[in-house]
């Protein structure tokens, strides 16, 4: 069997996974598999939970509103994401959905909304963000589920910042240079990383000063063009993964 099977439907479940077990599905999951996808008894499904790897399972409908999965054999062992956080100022719904999904695809381990002085969207729907994490993992063959943390003020996050985690501070005002080379130089000696994306209006001066005063911070330019916050998150995560993360092999 190939490493990734994109012909079978994948489903994220909460229950532990082991061969020979039968696990019940929620009403929403049953509706999706039985009524939306119209899968019948014995239809193959790939199940994962973010802890036990990926397993081949067979659908066992018990009616229009209830169904179960018969777990058969493991197809992939559990993997682990790089120790990479994404800190971001909340955006409006559609763009926040996009950012969360792409961060999962790029390999972020934690999604951390932070409130800056110029943040426009002041509240984050954490359950919606977690649903986006699951959806992206299901669609892209990802086994590990990114953790969604409660929102916090940027000042609080910086005040408690651990010295062993490099914070990549994306700043449109930084001098344009080779970002990969800059990251490799700044990341020497670090094994834990974070990317910080500010609000649409940018950081205010006090936030810039606080970031500049931290020893474990790398100020990074994302090129000669100004990017929207959701685009900047994808670009920055790609650079960090290429220079410091698991894209290096």
10 Å Cβ neighbour count for 131? 14
pLDDT digit string (tens) for 168-220? Answer: 998 877 776 788 898 999 999 999 999 999 888 888 899 988 998 898 999 88
Residue at token pair 């019948």: 40
Count of H-run helices and E-run strands, the chain: 7, 12
> What pLDDT was estimated at residue 122?
65
What are the angstrom distances between the C-alpha of 195 and each of 88, 95, 109? 8, 18, 11
What are the angstrom distances between the C-alpha of 150 and each of 20, 47, 84, 170? 37, 27, 17, 22
Q: Which of 72, 58, 74, 73 is nearest to 25 (CA)?
A: 58
10 Å Cβ neighbour count for 77? 9
> What pLDDT was estimated at residue 230?
93
Q: Please report, in angstroms and rounded to a whole number, the separation of the first and last CA atoms in the chain.
A: 22
Lowest mean pLDDT among 88-92, 129-133, 145-149: 88-92
Range with the largest mean pLDDT of 3-12, 100-109, 193-202: 100-109
Alpha helices in 11-125 (DSSP H): 27-30, 93-106
> What pLDDT was estimated at residue 1?
38
Q: Which of 8, 5, 14 is nearest to 134 (CA)?
A: 14
pLDDT digit string (tens) for 70-84? Answer: 999 999 999 999 999
φ and ψ of 133, to 5 deg: -60, -45
Between these two residues, 200 and 130, which has the higher pLDDT value?
Answer: 130
In this model, does residue 61 exceed pLDDT 80?
no
Between these two residues, 128 and 123, which has the higher pLDDT value?
Answer: 128
Lowest mean pLDDT among 8-12, 80-84, 154-158, 224-228: 224-228
Domains parsed from the chain with CATH numbers:
9-76 (2.40.240.20), 84-248 (3.40.1280.10)
Question: What does the chain come to in residues?
Answer: 249
Give the mean pLDDT of the chain. 91
């Amino acid at each position: 069997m190939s490493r990734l099977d994109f012909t079978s439907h994948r489903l994220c479940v909460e229950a532990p996974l082991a061969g020979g077990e039968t696990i019940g599905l929620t009403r929403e999951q049953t509706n999706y598999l039985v009524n939306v996808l119209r899968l019948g008894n014995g239809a193959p499904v790939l199940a994962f939970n973010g802890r036990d790897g990926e397993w081949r399972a067979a659908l066992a409908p018990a009616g229009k509103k209830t169904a179960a999965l018969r777990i058969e054999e493991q197809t992939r062992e559990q993997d682990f994401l790089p120790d990479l956080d994404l800190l971001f100022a909340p955006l409006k719904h559609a763009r926040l959905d996009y950012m969360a999904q792409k961060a999962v695809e790029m390999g972020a381990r934690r999604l951390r909304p932070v409130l800056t002085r110029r943040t426009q969207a002041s509240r984050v729907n954490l359950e919606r963000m977690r649903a986006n994490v699951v959806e992206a993992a299901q669609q892209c063959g990802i086994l590990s589920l990114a953790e969604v943390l409660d929102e916090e003020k940027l000042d609080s996050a910086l005040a408690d910042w651990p010295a062993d985690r490099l914070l990549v501070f994306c700043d449109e005002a930084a001098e344009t240079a080779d970002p990969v080379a800059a990251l490799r130089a700044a990341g020497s000696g670090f094994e834990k990383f974070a990317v910080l994306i500010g609000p649409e209006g940018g950081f205010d001066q006090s936030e810039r000063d606080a970031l500049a005063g931290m020893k474990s911070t790398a100020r990074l330019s994302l090129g000669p063009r100004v990017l929207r916050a959701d685009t900047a998150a994808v670009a920055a995560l790609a650079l960090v993964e290429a220079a410091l993360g698991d894209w290096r092999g």
